[in-house]
Structures are given as structure tokens and as C-alpha cells.
């Protein structure tokens, strides 16, 4: 069985041969049709080869996009979850493949250090080395990929990789970032889970039940931490301005007296230091941040849907918290009076994510609804309706344990900037 089935147009034979030679120099086995001559054996041999290969690498060019054979082979690879599209010359990719991540080798001239060439090798190696889907809650340390470049480490010691080498087949559990001081992300597997809680949960609210089956259809990446102050400033330039304090009023005896309370301890604590998560972030602030992050990284970032958030929080668990049916101060930051603490100081959940319970509440993309009737079953956010409120999840530093449950739901006005609300980002890896 070959690692790669190469699909290309005959007129692109020169670039195809260069790619094949370079792959073989890196120990990757390739099947391509340069050796087939008997016309009568063509269909049968191609069918056997494409079926047996671990990946289908399609070379898109102005010539191949109009080839019925290349399109058919590309559709086969896509339908079987092993397509790796490669652009070898500027052209308009067929619309059926425009949403698929593509390696751009249009400027590649046999350079083994070329970023896109290394991305192609990384992607192929990921597909060849992984078999089957990872079961939710059973993430293991990903198999090292010699083409993937580490750019740092997490508090757990896990390597953080350069986001340029992340593909739809990157193993679940892989941590990465798309640029210096940008959020560290973790790849999560696709899967199925029950959103919400059961009536026997002593803290169950009417808006949390009945449960609803949600099918997360594809792997995606979630922030390992809530967005940190340092990350927000790196991307946005500065923190949003907090609401101005009222001007002091003059008393009857001519002395100035403050008409407001002093700033909360939480606000004072939230200074650009260490791994403190952002607070006083409105939903509009968070949405503007992901737009800037997407532009800066050239990747698709967004605010998580409520379903994606709970899926990430549960990490395969069915208990009240990802760590069991109870939680204490050794596992999460809650019931405090001094504001959020540095992220990473409490145990991560089974998906390697920190502070899914406590520290700061987190915005989700969903409009508030009193039930899950309007929640899409495929993990998308619930955006139908006239509600002006957005769903907030996770509980925060001053909340009770009941508000930290995996299924606990809260709501907030999108414009509010509260000392207890921050956010986390997700990114597409398709």
C-alpha cells in the first residue's frame, strides 16, 4: 500500500515528477500513473491504487481543474477522508473543494525547508500515522511528527507546535499557536455527546434540560486557556476601555466627595502580567477580537458555540463536572473575592484544557433560549430568535460551585463588561 496516490494532469508531469522525487527522498511511498501504458488496464489499476493508498494528493493547476479524471479522484479522496489538495499553479479551484484547506506549492522550487512543502509532508505523515477516530475523553500524547516544529511548551510539558503545520488530520490532543503570543490551541476530535443535564442533578435549572444529542461533525481546535491579557493586547493593541467612573461631586461644605465605589479588586488584579485571563470583555469586544485574530493569522477563528463549549468542557465525561460529581478549591478557582487567578494553576481536563470550570465566565456565540429546542444538532450556535442576550458558560472566580457545572447556563447582555466575564476562542482546522 502506498502512502500517496498522486492525482494530476499529464501536462503537469514535470512538477508532478519533482514532487514525487522529493517525497520519495523523505521516505514517502508514492503511486502515480507514469508506469501505466496498456489502455485496457488503466481503470482497474487506478481503482485498486487509489483505494489502497493512505492519502490522495491532488495537484490543482489551470489544466487539472478541467480534468474529469482529476476531479473524480479528488471527490474519491474527499469522500474517504484522505484528500490532500495541493495548488501547483494559480487557478480557480473547483467549488466543491473551496472549503478544504489547501497546500500552496505554486512558488516551490525543490526547497526542503519551504514552509508549504513541510506542511505537505506533515499532513501526509499525520494521515499515515493515525488510524481511526480518537474516542472522546481518551486523548493520548500525539505521535511526534518530525516535520512539525515546536515553538514552546505548556505548563504540563506538552509541546506547542507552529500552527502552520496543523491540518484536518492533525492528531487530537496536539497543541499549537498561530503566532507569537497568540492563543495556544488544542485539537479536539469529532464526537457525539449529550448537551445539558438530567433532572436528578440537584442543581438542574429548567433551561438545562431535557438533554439533547449533539454530533460534532469534524475535529476543531479550542483555546487551552481563556484569552489572556497579553494575547488580547498582542492582537488588539490594547484592552477595551472600562466604563468611566462618575465624576466626583461637590458636597454642601465645598469638599470633593467621590460618588462612586472604588474599582473592584478584580479589575485591579487584572493587569498585563503572567497568564491572567481577560475580564471586562463584552461580547462585541470578543467578536472584534476574533475578527482581528483571523486577519492576523489568516485562519478561521470564532467564538465557540454553546455546544462546542460544553463538548470541550466535558471532555468525554457525563458527570456534573469533568472531574466527577463534585469540585473543590484544588480543582478550580471559585468562591473568591480577589478576582481571577493565573490560568494553568489547576488541573486540566481530559482534553488538556484549563479553567473550563471557574476563574472567568466565558461568552458563547448562542443567543439565549430557555431550552435546547432551537439548538442545532450539528454543534452550530443557536442564532434564531429575538433574544438580545448571549449565553455565558463556565462560572467565574466569585461564583458558587453549582455555577461551575458542565451544564450550567448563564446569560448576559452583549454590551456588558463585567469583572467576571472573559472568553475563549475556537479555530477551524478543515
What ranges do the domains of the chain cover? 4-129, 188-428
CA distance 273 to 267: 13
143-195 pLDDT, tens per residue?
678 888 899 999 888 999 999 999 999 999 999 999 988 999 999 999 999 99
Pair 322, 356: CB distance under 8 Å: yes
> Which stretch, 46-50, 213-217, 251-255, has highest mean pLDDT?
213-217
What's the grid cell of residue 197? 443535564
Pair 16, 42: CB distance under 8 Å: no
Confidence of residue 23 (pLDDT cuts 50, 70, 90): very high
Strand partners, 216: 191
CA dihedral 48, 52, 57, 59 (to 10 degrees): -10
Assigned CATH topology for domain 188-428: 3.90.1580
Pair 222, 186: CB distance under 8 Å: yes
- Report the chain's mean pLDDT, rounded to a whole number: 88
What length is written for the chain? 430
Question: Can you spell out the DSSP letters for 158-185?
Answer: -EEEEGGG--TTSPTT-EEESSTTSPPE
pLDDT of 388 higher than 70: yes
Look at residues 253, 103, 83 and name the one whose alpha carbon lies nearest to residue 164. 103
Q: How distant is the alpha carbon of residue 128 from its chain centre?
A: 22
Q: Report the pLDDT averaged over residues 383-405.
A: 93
Pair 124, 105: CB distance under 8 Å: no
Classify domain 4-129 by CATH number.
3.40.50.10140
Q: Which residue has the cell 461644605?
A: 253
372-386 pLDDT, tens per residue?
999 999 999 999 877
364-374 pLDDT, tens per residue?
999 999 999 99
Q: pTM for this structure?
A: 0.86
Look at residues 274, 248, 270, 243 and name the one whose alpha carbon lies nearest to residue 259. 248
The reported pLDDT for the residue numbered 140 is: 56
Pair 361, 421: CB distance under 8 Å: yes
Strands (E), 95-201: 103-104, 150-153, 159-162, 175-177, 185-188, 191-195
Pair 407, 201: CB distance under 8 Å: yes
Look at residues 81, 82, 86 and name the one whose alpha carbon lies nearest to residue 18. 86
Pair 340, 177: CB distance under 8 Å: no
Report the DSSP pairing between strands 159-162 and 55-60: unpaired
Q: Report the pLDDT averaged over residues 10-19.
A: 94
pLDDT of 253 higher than 90: no
% the chain with pLDDT above 90: 76
Distances (CA, A) of 65 to 19, 76, 94, 115: 18, 15, 6, 24
H/E stretch holding 265 reads helix 265-269
CA distance 308 to 379: 6
Amino acid at each position: 500500500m502506498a502512502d500517496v496516490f498522486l492525482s494530476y494532469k499529464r501536462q503537469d508531469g514535470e512538477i508532478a515528477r519533482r514532487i514525487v522525487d522529493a517525497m520519495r527522498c523523505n521516505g514517502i511511498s508514492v503511486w502515480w500513473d507514469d508506469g501505466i501504458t496498456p489502455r485496457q488496464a488503466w481503470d482497474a489499476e487506478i481503482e485498486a491504487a487509489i483505494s489502497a493508498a493512505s492519502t490522495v494528493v491532488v495537484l490543482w493547476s489551470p489544466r487539472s481543474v478541467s480534468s474529469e479524471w482529476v476531479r473524480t479522484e479528488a471527490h474519491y479522496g474527499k469522500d474517504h477522508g484522505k484528500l490532500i489538495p495541493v495548488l501547483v499553479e494559480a487557478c480557480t479551484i473547483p467549488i466543491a473543494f473551496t472549503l478544504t484547506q489547501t497546500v500552496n506549492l505554486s512558488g516551490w522550487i525543490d526547497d526542503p525547508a519551504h514552509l508549504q512543502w513541510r506542511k505537505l509532508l506533515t499532513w501526509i505523515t499525520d494521515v499515515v500515522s493515525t488510524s481511526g477516530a480518537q474516542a472522546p475523553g481518551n486523548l493520548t500524547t500525539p505521535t511526534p511528527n518530525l516535520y512539525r516544529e515546536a515553538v514552546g511548551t505548556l505548563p504540563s510539558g506538552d509541546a506547542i507546535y507552529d500552527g502552520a503545520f496543523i491540518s484536518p488530520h492533525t492528531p487530537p490532543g496536539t497543541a499549537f499557536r498561530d503566532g507569537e503570543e497568540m492563543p495556544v490551541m488544542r485539537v479536539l476530535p469529532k464526537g457525539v455527546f449529550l448537551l445539558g443535564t438530567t433532572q436528578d442533578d440537584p442543581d438542574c435549572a429548567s433551561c438545562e434540560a431535557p438533554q439533547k444529542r449533539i454530533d460534532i461533525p469534524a475535529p476543531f481546535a479550542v483555546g487551552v486557556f481563556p484569552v489572556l491579557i497579553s494575547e488580547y493586547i498582542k492582537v488588539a493593541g490594547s484592552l477595551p476601555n472600562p466604563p468611566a467612573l462618575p465624576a466626583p461631586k461637590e458636597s454642601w461644605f465645598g469638599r470633593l466627595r467621590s460618588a462612586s465605589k472604588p474599582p473592584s479588586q478584580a479589575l485591579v488584579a487584572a493587569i498585563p502580567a503572567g497568564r491572567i485571563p481577560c475580564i471586562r470583555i463584552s461580547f462585541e469586544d470578543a467578536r472584534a477580537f476574533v475578527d482581528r485574530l483571523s486577519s492576523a493569522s489568516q485562519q478561521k477563528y470564532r467564538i465557540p458555540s454553546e455546544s462546542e463549549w460544553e463538548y470541550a468542557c466535558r471532555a468525554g465525561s457525563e458527570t456534573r463536572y469533568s472531574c466527577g460529581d463534585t469540585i473543590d478549591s484544588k480543582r478550580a478557582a471559585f468562591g473568591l473575592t480577589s478576582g481571577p487567578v493565573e490560568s494553568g494553576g489547576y488541573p486540566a481536563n481530559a482534553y488538556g484544557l484549563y479553567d473550563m470550570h471557574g476563574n472567568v465566565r466565558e461568552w458563547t456565540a448562542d443567543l439565549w433560549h430557555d431550552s435546547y429546542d432551537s439548538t442545532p444538532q450539528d454543534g452550530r450556535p443557536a442564532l434564531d430568535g429575538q433574544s438580545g442576550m448571549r449565553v455565558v458558560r463556565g462560572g467565574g472566580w466569585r461564583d458558587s460551585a453549582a455555577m461551575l457545572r458542565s451544564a450550567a447556563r448563564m446569560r448576559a447582555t452583549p454590551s456588558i463588561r463585567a469583572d467576571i466575564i472573559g472568553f475563549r476562542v475556537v479555530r477551524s482546522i478543515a
